[in-house]
Structure 1
Amino acid sequence: MKKEFAVIGLGRFGGSICKTLSDQGMEVLAIDIDEDKVNEYANIAAHAVIGDSLDENVLKSLGIRNFGNVIVAIGDNIQASILTTLILKELGVEHITVKAQNEYHEKVLSKIGADRIVHPERDMGRRIANSLMSNTVLDYLELSEEHSIVELVAGQKIDGHSLIDLDIRAKYGINIVAIKRNHDIIVSPQASETIRQGDILIVIGADVDINRFENRLVSDS
C-alpha cells in the first residue's frame, strides 16, 4: 500500500521532496499558491493544485486530514508557515513536518505541535563542515546535539582486523551498523566480519566516542 504525502510549498526544498517521493512511487499531493510552480510539478506529483494553505476551507476540500504525512515547505514567509501548521494541527493531520527558517521559528513550531522540524540549510552546512574537517569522514547526519550517524573510511590501521578483534562497542561505545564495500552493503555485520582498508563504515553513537574511534583507529595520520 502506497503512503500518501502532501507537500505545501514548491520551492527548492519542497520541490525536491515532492520529486523524490514521486520517484519512489509515493502518492504526492503538491500544493502551492503560485500557478507556475504548480504547473512545473503537474507531471511529477500524482496531483498538483493551486491553493492557499492559509484558507482552512481549501485544505478541507483537498482532504488534507486524510494524508498521513504533510510537509510544510513554505519559503521565507514564517508567518504563513506557522499559521499553516496550526491549521493542519486543528484539522487533525497525523504527522506534520515543517521547514524552519531559524531557531525562533523552530521554537514556535515546536510549541504548536509540529511533529518534525527540519533546518535544511543549517543541517547541510554541518554535514559539509564535518566532511571538510576530516579526510576520513564522508558523510554526517546529526541525530541529536550529541549523537550522529557518520560514514568513515577505514584506514590501514584496522585493515585485516575483525570487529570482534577491535571490540569497538566495548572500547568506544559505538556501533558499526553497516559496511559499504565496493558495490556491496553489509548490514548489521557479524562480529567475525573482517574490515578492509577503504571500507566505508557506517557508525552510530555519541559524537565524542565517534571522534575517539576515528582518531585512534580509522585515521592514518
Structure 2
Amino acid sequence: MKTDQFAVIGLGRFGSSLAKELMSLGHEVLGIDKDEEVIDNMNRKLTHAVVADATDVETLRSLGIRNFDCGVVAIGDDIQTSILTTIQLKELGVKKVVAKAITELHGRVLERIGVDRVIFPERDMGIRVAHQLVSPNLLDYIELSKDYTIVELSVPRCLHGISLQDLSPRSRFGCSIVAIHKKTGVVVVPTAEQVLEENDIMVIIGSNAQIELFEEELTEEQIQLT
C-alpha cells in the first residue's frame, strides 16, 4: 500500500482519532493544533505534531503543507477558523482538502470554497447508527451518494450453504456482493460458486432501493432461491 502524507489540522476528539487511525494504516501524519498541551499528548503518536496557527499562510508554507497528499481540517466549533484554514490550504495548492463541517450551512460554504470532501461526523454517525438499529443484519453503512451505498450485512442462517449463483443478488435485487469476510479471510470479487456461511459478512454495493429490498427479505428470512 502506498504511504501517503496527511496533515490533520485540529486535534480534538475527531481529529486525533482520525490522525491515529491514519498512522495505524501506515501513513505519515502531521498534526497541527493551537493548544500546546494537545500537541504534547499527540507528539509521540504521530509522525510530527506542531503548535501552530493554521490560519497563518506563512506558517503553513513553512511547514511545507503544499507537499502533503491530503489536508484535513478537523477544527472543532470555530467555523470562522475552519473556513479560513480551508481557504489557505486551497490557495497553497494542497492536492486534496477534506474538511469537517459543524452545520449544513458550514458544509455548503466549504463546498463553495472547493473542498474535495465535506465530512459531517455527528450527522453521518447518526445515519449509520439509525440504519444499524432498524436492520439486525446490518453491520456498517457508507453513503457513496444520495442514491448509492455500500453496506456490510451479516449472513443469516437462512442463507447458510447457499452459493452466490443460487442467491443471484444482481439479477434479483440489482445489487452486487463485491467481497465476503469469512473466518479464513476476505474473498474479494467472489465467484458465482462461492458458498455463504452463517455469520459471514457480505460487502454489498447498490442503490438505496435495491439494498433496502435485499435487507427486508434477509430480515424476514423469506428469500426464495431460484
- Scaled to the shorter chain, the TM-score interval is over 0.9
1:154 aligns with 2:155: yes
Larger mean CA deviation between 195-204 and 43-52 belongs to 195-204
Unaligned 5+ segments in structure 2 are: none
**2:212 corresponds to:** 211
The C-alpha deviation readout for 1:125-171, integer Å capped at 9, x for no partner, is 11111111121111111111221111112223333221112221111
User: Normalization by structure 2: what TM-score?
Assistant: 0.93
Distance 2:69 2:180 in 1: 33
Distance 2:201 2:219 in 1: 10
Identity of aligned residues (%): 47
Q: Answer yes or no: is the 8 Å Cα contact 2:57–2:88 preserved in 1.
A: yes
Distance 1:21 1:217, change over 3 A: closer
**2:79 corresponds to:** 78
Distance 1:80 1:113 in 2: 16
1:104 aligns with 2:105: yes
Q: Answer yes or no: is the 8 Å Cα contact 1:153–1:218 preserved in 2.
A: no
Distance 1:156 1:20, change over 3 A: closer
Which residues of 2 match residues 37-186 of structure 1 at below 5 A? 37-186=38-187
Distance 2:176 2:136 in 1: 21
Distance 2:7 2:157 in 1: 47
Distance 1:185 1:68 in 2: 28
Q: Answer yes or no: is the 8 Å Cα contact 2:6–2:71 preserved in 1.
A: yes
Q: Answer yes or no: is the 8 Å Cα contact 1:140–1:151 preserved in 2.
A: yes
Distance 1:37 1:217 in 2: 46
Larger mean CA deviation between 149-158 and 27-36 belongs to 149-158
How many residue pairs are counted as aligned between the two chains?
Answer: 221
Larger mean CA deviation between 77-86 and 180-189 belongs to 180-189
1:217 deviation in Å? 4.2
Distance 2:163 2:83 in 1: 51
Root-mean-square deviation (Å): 1.5
Q: Which amino acid aligns with 1:170?
A: S
